[in-house]
A and B are shown apart, each in its own frame.
Chain A
Amino acid sequence: MNKILLIIQREYITRVKKKSFWIASILVPFLIAAVYTIPVLLFVNSDDSRNVIVLDDSKLFKGKLNSEGDYTYIYSEKTLEEAKKDLKKSNDDIVVHIEKDILMNPKGVQILGKKTVGIGTQHAIQGKIQNELRNIKLKNAGIDLKVLEDNKINVDAQTYTLNEDGGEKSSNSGGAMILGGIFGFLLYLSAFLYGSQVMNGVIEEKSNRIIEVVVSSVRPFQLMLGKIIGVGMVGLTQFLLWGVLTFTASTVTSSIMSGKIEEKVQAKVKAGLSKDEIKKFEASVKSENPLNSISDAIENVSLGKMIFCFILYYLGGYLLYSSLFAAIGSAVESPSEAQQFMFPVTIPIILSFILAQFILQKPDSPIAFWASIIPLTSPIDMMVRLPFGVSNWEIALSLTLLILGFIGTTWLAGKVYRVGILMYGKKPSWKEITKWVFYKG
């Protein structure tokens, strides 16, 4: 036992001392912070106000295209030629030319820009004209404008989750999807990342020829287990660092963000915008930040339960796969030789990732249920399902099977490992490796 501790210590310390470990640990949280900060900052800082000169040959739109958001519509009596000429000199950005027969010919609209007209701008102006055109046509058909106003209804459904005691909680399926996706991806990544670290560690010991010295001091199984646990703890350390640093980074960036947003709001107040419009602006800023919907989802499933399950499923999934990776490492002499054997092991990992996309859509389907129960796919797929709410008995069943699963794979891997590490010079086949399982002593 004492010797396993020594091995764990060595595996852990040599890896944590590496520069690459710290680069990854520090860089990733900043990337995460950047991913949600940058869109918000871009949104807040963007100054997209445009002056749009409207040349309305049809005379239908006069006074109807109200300035809205970033677009200020100015009516002009100039001819198209004059407007084109003036555009170059003036502060105006865009000229819209509406042809005379616009009612008959909806294609009779031209948008001219100083610079290339972006697709967003095109859609905004098009939508505006299209809306008004529809109103005009409806009015011509004899429908009252008041009826039209009443018809503008926005449906915004609220989703709720029933509590165990029958009460209801508002749920946020968008946030749950994001959170589930993040969990799934992290576990998917860690299976590969740390699994292959174990494999490469085994290959290193074998190709360095240190292995025989070590296994004359400890049992091969102890060495394998020590390595797996040591690398697993490196993974946990990395997750912990990521968690703490992401939290710190996001605290810093959100205080910067709220400062920026406040500035912008003040500017809008000064510009004399109505309260409604400011509220709208604040809401749209909020929608740019995925963190908000995630924090809503976290309120739904308890954070403690989520972290608890994440650690257990990480460990279970990691132990399950890394022992298989260790067995592969023991059978080969170089990472390139390992490729052919890795394929069958990576299939279930990739499969669970593919299933995860499906589970995000239908978290309660039978496929989602079985994928989160069967040990090979459960580490990733249960974590994907978890933010949507999973009953405790399912988690207990899936964890029990996962524990049995990794005991099984570790046992099997140990059998292959103790033979493989001392085999040099011949390329093993699957048939050969299977035989190793049944070797005695």
Chain B
Amino acid sequence: MSIILEAQNVVKRYAGHTALSGVSIQVPQGSIFGLLGPNGAGKTSLIRIINQITGPDEGQIILDGERLQPKHIEVIGYLPEERGLYKKMKVGEQLLYLAQLKGMPKAEAVEKLKAWFIKFDIKGWWDKNVEDLSKGMQQKTQFIATIVHEPKLVILDEPFSGFDPINANLLKDEILALKEKGTTIIFSTHRMESVEELCDNIALINKSKVVLSGEKKEVKNRFRDNTFNLEYSGALAPIEGVFEILSAKNVEGITKAKVRLLDGTNANQFLGQAIQQVDLKAFNENIPSFNEIFIKVVGEDANTIL
């Protein structure tokens, strides 16, 4: 898979603090890339550098094999976390203006916008003032502004914040549709369920450094700790060298337990042992959620993880 965007050792310092210290990420073409991290970790700083709103103090950004330069503005679509619209302007005029700022010729922009208005079923909005729109309507408008120029790379900073479930689903569908068309999407969030659902790759930034990155599955694998959940009736005793019981709880005759396999025991070997002792009802591997990973990584000292 080719890399569309690469950050190489990006450093950004502000007067009082360092926002990014040697950050490197690689975003594969056509993927959905999750930029994770707690508030103030440096996500927005990195995004602003990619959008050429600010420049890095050190390091560089490579887009499509070239060093980032002003012409790249036109191939990026950006939905900032702090987003707004000109309140006194009409919806259509405003979108036309923003599309033209992204380098679209006027006639083409009108055509594309009309298509989006039809798609979102908002044909009557063109001449409405932005201040007369509801929040959900404004969010739709902002989203159209982000992608109307058909960017290769779409950057969404906390896209779901402030969305109601219906609009959030709509947005999710659009993100997936964009991916379908081959668009690369970077989105920053601290909502882990959307990472779970949408992302192919992730980078976790904490305290201005990348502390975890890679493919979603591979990252999850890294955090597997050979623990399994099982439900059974009867009594299970741990076997030295094979497994240990971490927790067990009996509810109405069924015991729910968490066990860890030891010394290279695989699941089959464990099951062979277990069914001799108890009547097994359910069994599955305990794969950590991104929520758990996030809390584990950010909560602990980042250096001991990597």
Q: Report A's interface with B, CB cutoff 8 A.
A: 3, 6-7, 10, 14, 204-205, 208-210, 212-220, 422, 424, 435, 439-441
Q: Report B's interface with A, CB cutoff 8 A.
A: 15, 48, 51-57, 70, 73, 76, 78-80, 82-89, 97-98, 100-102, 142, 145
Query: A213 contacts B48, CB within 8 Å?
Result: no
Query: A208 contacts B84, CB within 8 Å?
Result: yes
Query: B85 contacts A210, CB within 8 Å?
Result: yes
Which of A7, A14, A215, A440 contacts B53 (CB under 8 A)? A215
Chain B residues whose CB sits within 8 angstroms of the CB of A205 once the complex forms: 86
Query: A209 contacts B84, CB within 8 Å?
Result: yes
Which of B15, B55, B78, B84 contacts A210 (CB under 8 A)? B84
What's the minimum C-beta distance from B173 to chain A, rounded to whole angstroms?
22
Query: B82 contacts A212, CB within 8 Å?
Result: yes
Query: B83 contacts A3, CB within 8 Å?
Result: no
Query: B53 contacts A213, CB within 8 Å?
Result: no
14 CB-based A-B contacts, threshold 8 Å: A7-B101, A204-B86, A210-B83, A212-B82, A213-B78, A213-B142, A214-B98, A216-B52, A219-B70, A220-B53, A422-B54, A435-B15, A440-B57, A441-B57
Chain A residues whose CB sits within 8 angstroms of the CB of B73 once the complex forms: 216-218
Chain B residues whose CB sits within 8 angstroms of the CB of A6 once the complex forms: 97, 100-101
Q: How far is the CA of A204 from the CA of B52 in the complex (A)?
A: 22
Q: How far is the CA of A141 from the CA of B70 in the complex (A)?
A: 97
Chain A residues whose CB sits within 8 angstroms of the CB of B76 once the complex forms: 216
Contacts A208-B87, A213-B79 aside, 7 further interface pairs with beta carbons under 8 A come to A6-B97, A204-B87, A205-B86, A209-B84, A210-B83, A213-B80, A216-B80
What's the minimum C-beta distance from B139 to chain A, rounded to whole angstroms?
13
Most interface-central of B55, B87, B97 (chain A CB within 10 A): B97
Closest residue of chain B to A214 (Cβ to Cβ) is B101
Query: B80 contacts A208, CB within 8 Å?
Result: no
What's the minimum C-beta distance from B202 to chain A, rounded to whole angstroms?
23
What's the minimum C-beta distance from B53 to chain A, rounded to whole angstroms?
5
Closest 6 CB pairs of A and B: A441-B55, A209-B84, A217-B101, A212-B80, A208-B84, A216-B51
Given contacts A218-B101, A422-B53, A424-B82, A14 and B145 within 8 Å (CB-CB): no
What's the minimum C-beta distance from B152 to chain A, rounded to whole angstroms?
15
Closest residue of chain A to B73 (Cβ to Cβ) is A217
Q: How far is the CA of A219 from the CA of B55 in the complex (A)?
A: 12
Most interface-central of A6, A217, A424, A440 (chain B CB within 10 A): A217
Closest residue of chain B to A223 (Cβ to Cβ) is B101
Which of A10, A209, A219 contacts B97 (CB under 8 A)? A10
Chain A residues whose CB sits within 8 angstroms of the CB of B80 once the complex forms: 209, 212-213, 216
Query: B56 contacts A441, CB within 8 Å?
Result: yes
Chain A residues whose CB sits within 8 angstroms of the CB of B142 once the complex forms: 213
Q: How far is the CA of A208 from the CA of B55 in the complex (A)?
A: 24
Chain A residues whose CB sits within 8 angstroms of the CB of B102 once the complex forms: 217
Q: How far is the CA of A424 from the CA of B82 in the complex (A)?
A: 10
Q: How far is the CA of A212 from the CA of B146 in the complex (A)?
A: 12
What's the minimum C-beta distance from A402 to chain B, rounded to whole angstroms?
31
What's the minimum C-beta distance from A209 to chain B, rounded to whole angstroms?
3
Query: B86 contacts A441, CB within 8 Å?
Result: no
Chain B residues whose CB sits within 8 angstroms of the CB of A212 once the complex forms: 53, 78, 80, 82-83
Query: B86 contacts A3, CB within 8 Å?
Result: no
Which of B15, B79, B86, B101 contacts A208 (CB under 8 A)? B86
Chain A residues whose CB sits within 8 angstroms of the CB of B83 once the complex forms: 209-210, 212-213
